[in-house]
């Protein structure tokens, strides 16, 4: 007799994303699939009609009938700016009326206006805002996110943001992988002394964030208008010396050699990549750097240029898709919508956008052993979707297909309650 | 003492969309607004601190505190193809891989594959599918829709679809304005005899739909690959003779003079308009034809060309935005997402997209006297949104901001239940 905490049965399509279940779809689909969970981990996975006879559900255990539904790993959002205060709907209106993102930044808007609001906000305010966003992410099926600091831009405020993340990690079921992004912009008090800010980053902020164990990754906004290649290299190398793994915002607004730098430094991911060079893609493929693409920003900034996703995939680069959740260039928590945009903007197939938000996303944040596929021993982060097949997920867009979200074996969210004849 | 069935108080921004409350926003915003509802109609509207002292809530009455929230008219979706069976995710994948919409249609896919599935479906199946879609529309804040037939393409099947709509209208709180669109495509059995199908439309289908009172509007897909200008004129004029008001799918895939025809016939709306001519816009402005724009189709078909919304607005054309809900070119029930796309694709302002989904949408379907603004005597179709101001609505995209949906004074939907610390 084997005690089981959670049992999911009868999934029409069980997308394992596991190399143990190779099939034509590339998603390792088990038809009529079942999952047994024990102590928050996947204990058994296979066909419902092959469930071992000695499994017994614990008294407090739960059973889910997934008949007619798709079951897959919880979604993973590999690039978010979770913690910020304020909102920028007025800038949104200005952009719609024709001002460019850089023009708005030049007028004192943009990132720095969010920095001002975030500096003013208390720990409790940021915690509350972050929690609301985690709730929304969870409701769209997300069970793990990467989250960047970067709206503090001072020792004190960057640490405040990272501490909020740490507190949320304890409080909320969504797992948070924290990234230090002090090199998001030059704060206004260092406007004419950028080398002083670089020194502050390198000598105080990175060492302190690392010493307190508040960050796992170090990121930099490598861009003509932000940090140069040389500055980015110094910052990321400093991070590495302090045990922070590198990530990089690369080639978003102009070609700048960011992808090449990512490969040189062994970064886990290079993100954005609208203007990535041929050489950059080649180097990323060689070094196994994941491309994190952000269609929400393409959409929200009306960029009109897209990263060459197809070319990257054909070269063997692992591609992830993320929300880029942030108040300036992608104000959304919907990873499913990013999957649809990945198909339509980047010509990724439904199969590729599923990989991009599960197994490839896990790899981009160094979590490939724990999450991203449904394999025995991995965390039981599982999504039940009220759709007939996986291709339907990006196809029927802008609405909620989530039936149940399971985080480490526990049911943490149920889908929306729609109108019935009974009065609510 | 005046008895009240529903009272909404303390709205931070009450968007009336009424000409009685002119202000700089163009949306008739009452700060700290209140609405009193009696017998499903708006009885009183104004500032909360000016609520008449003799109002008394009925024993079974409801009171809503909208503190910090935006209150506005229920959204109106002015162009949907609500009733169809089947889904086309395989075609979606094919399009992503490079096939064009017309190529897919040429292979026997496209509209005609949905016609086949819809003909096979029973009344009960179509009713159930339609109801699920109405539930989703309602959950995004929509309280009235226009809905077209057009996946039957035979007398029997077109009437079946219109009867399903009539049954749903009785069963569901969302109001349905039915449109006959037998001229959606030439069915395969008339492939080489298109004039015979036109005759069937004109001599049997339109008269019968009108006789049974199943449709209020008559629409036609006027397009090079569908119905010519001459055919469209004949169909819409026949509709008019039978009391069906004209609407037209115009200039979507190629310039064809559809907008000019809409003006000539006094159509309520011309829809799509990607390729509208200068002359067409001029004539629409003169004749008061509403432009119904469908950004979901621009997005889903990756058209890369957008209707000249700004030019139409500047010429004084009333512009509405809709989902175009259909399985081939816009599989979504999210009108709020269309508002964001209206801003980003068409350069409409937040103010304009609010008008486009309320008062302008009402006008496009001949309901301007009943809905679309919050005026005394109109239907109490009201939306409470958990956002700080109206500009925030299209800005924070892809997520659900609906707090409460009220249809004719009754609470018919409440927003999503997000994660809390308690186990669900």
> Which residues 6+ apart lie within 8 Å of B246 measured at CB?
B217, B218, B219, B236, B239, B240, B262, B265, B266, B267, B268
Cα–Cα distance for residue pair A285/A281, rounded to 1 Å: 6
Residue A116 has pLDDT above 70, yes or no: yes
Q: Which of B80, B97, B294, B395 to mutate to test the interface with A (most CBs of A within 10 A)?
A: B395
Torsion, Cα A345 A140 B341 B252, to 10 degrees, reads 60
Q: What is the pLDDT of residues B337-355, one digit of tens each?
A: 999 999 999 999 999 999 9
Q: What is the pLDDT of residues A44-56, one digit of tens each?
A: 999 999 999 999 9
How crowded is the C-beta side of A394, counted as CA atoms within 13 Å? 31
Cα–Cα distance for residue pair A330/A340, rounded to 1 Å: 15
In this structure, the number of other CB atoms found within 10 A of the CB of residue A76 comes to 30
Supply the pLDDT for residue A333.
98
Q: What percent of chain B clears pLDDT 90, i.e. is strictly above it? A: 92
Judge whether B171 and B126 are in contact, CB under 8 Å: no
| Residue A63 or residue B421, greater confidence | A63
Please identify every stretch of chain B with a pLDDT value under 50, giving residue numbers as ranges. Answer: 422-424
Nearest CA in chain A to B396: A331
A422 pLDDT band, cuts 50/70/90, is very low
Residues of A within 8 A of B25 (CB-CB) are none
CB-CB: which of A134, A411, A419 is closest to B135? A419
Judge whether B360 and B319 are in contact, CB under 8 Å: yes
Supply the pLDDT for residue A270.
98
Nearest CA in chain A to B336: A398
Nearest to B380 by CA among B34, B54, B77, B60: B34
The answer, for B12 touching chain A at a CB cutoff of 8 Å, is: no
Cα–Cα distance for residue pair B136/A417, rounded to 1 Å: 10
The answer, for A266 touching chain B at a CB cutoff of 8 Å, is: no
Q: What is the ipTM of this complex?
A: 0.97
Cα–Cα distance for residue pair B30/A327, rounded to 1 Å: 27
Average pLDDT value over all residues in chain A = 96
Chain A (148-167) residues lying within 8 Å, Cβ to Cβ, of chain B: none
Domains of chain A, earliest start first: 2-73+373-414 (2.30.40.10), 75-364 (3.20.20.140)
Q: What is the pLDDT of residues B83-97, one digit of tens each?
A: 999 999 999 999 999
> Which residues 6+ apart lie within 8 Å of A401 measured at CB?
A336, A385, A386, A387, A392, A393, A415
CB-CB: which of A93, A136, A172 is closest to B399? A136
Residues of A within 8 A of B343 (CB-CB) are 92, 96
């Amino acid at each position: 007799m084997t005690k089981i905490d959670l049992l999911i049965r009868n999934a029409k399509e069980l997308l394992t994303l596991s190399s143990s279940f190779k099939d034509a779809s590339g998603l390792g689909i088990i038809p009529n699939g079942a999952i047994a969970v024990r102590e928050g981990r996947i204990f058994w996975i296979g066909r419902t009609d092959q469930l071992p006879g000695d499994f017994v559900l614990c008294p407090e255990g739960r059973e889910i009938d997934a008949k007619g539904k798709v079951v897959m790993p919880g979604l993973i959002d590999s690039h978010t700016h979770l913690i910020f205060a304020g909102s920028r709907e007025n800038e949104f209106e200005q952009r719609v009326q024709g001002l460019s993102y850089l023009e708005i930044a030049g007028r004192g808007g943009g990132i720095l206006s969010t920095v001002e609001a975030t500096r003013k906000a208390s720990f409790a305010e940021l915690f509350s805002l972050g929690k609301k966003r985690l709730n929304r992410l969870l409701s769209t099926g997300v069970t793990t996110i990467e989250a960047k600091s970067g709206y503090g831009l001072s020792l004190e405020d960057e640490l405040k943001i990272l501490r909020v993340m740490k507190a949320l990690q304890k409080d909320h079921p969504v797992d948070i992988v924290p990234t230090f992004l002090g090199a998001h912009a030059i704060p206004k008090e260092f406007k004419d002394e950028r080398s002083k800010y670089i020194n502050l980053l390198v000598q105080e902020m990175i060492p302190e964030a690392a010493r307190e164990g508040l960050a796992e990754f170090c990121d930099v906004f490598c861009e003509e208008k932000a940090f140069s290649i040389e500055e980015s290299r110094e910052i990321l190398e400093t991070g590495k010396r302090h045990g922070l793994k590198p990530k990089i915002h690369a080639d978003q607004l102009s070609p700048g050699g960011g992808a090449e730098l990512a490969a040189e430094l062994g970064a886990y991911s290079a993100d954005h990549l609208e203007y990535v060079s041929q050489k950059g893609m080649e180097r990323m493929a060689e070094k196994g750097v994941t491309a994190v693409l952000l269609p929400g920003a393409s959409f929200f900034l009306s960029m009109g240029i897209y990263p060459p996703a197809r070319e990257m995939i054909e070269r063997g680069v692992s591609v992830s898709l993320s929300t880029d959740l942030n108040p300036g260039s992608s104000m959304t928590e919907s990873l499913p919508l990013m999957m649809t945009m990945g198909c339509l903007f980047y010509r990724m197939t439904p199969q590729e956008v599923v990989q991009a938000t599960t197994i490839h996303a896990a790899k981009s944040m160094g979590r490939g052993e724990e999450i991203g596929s449904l394999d025995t021993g991995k965390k039981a982060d599982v999504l039940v979707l009220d759709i007939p097949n996986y291709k339907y997920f990006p196809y029927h867009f802008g609405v909620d297909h989530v039936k149940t979200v399971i985080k480490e074996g526990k049911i943490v969210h149920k889908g929306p309650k729609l109108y019935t004849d009974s009065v609510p």
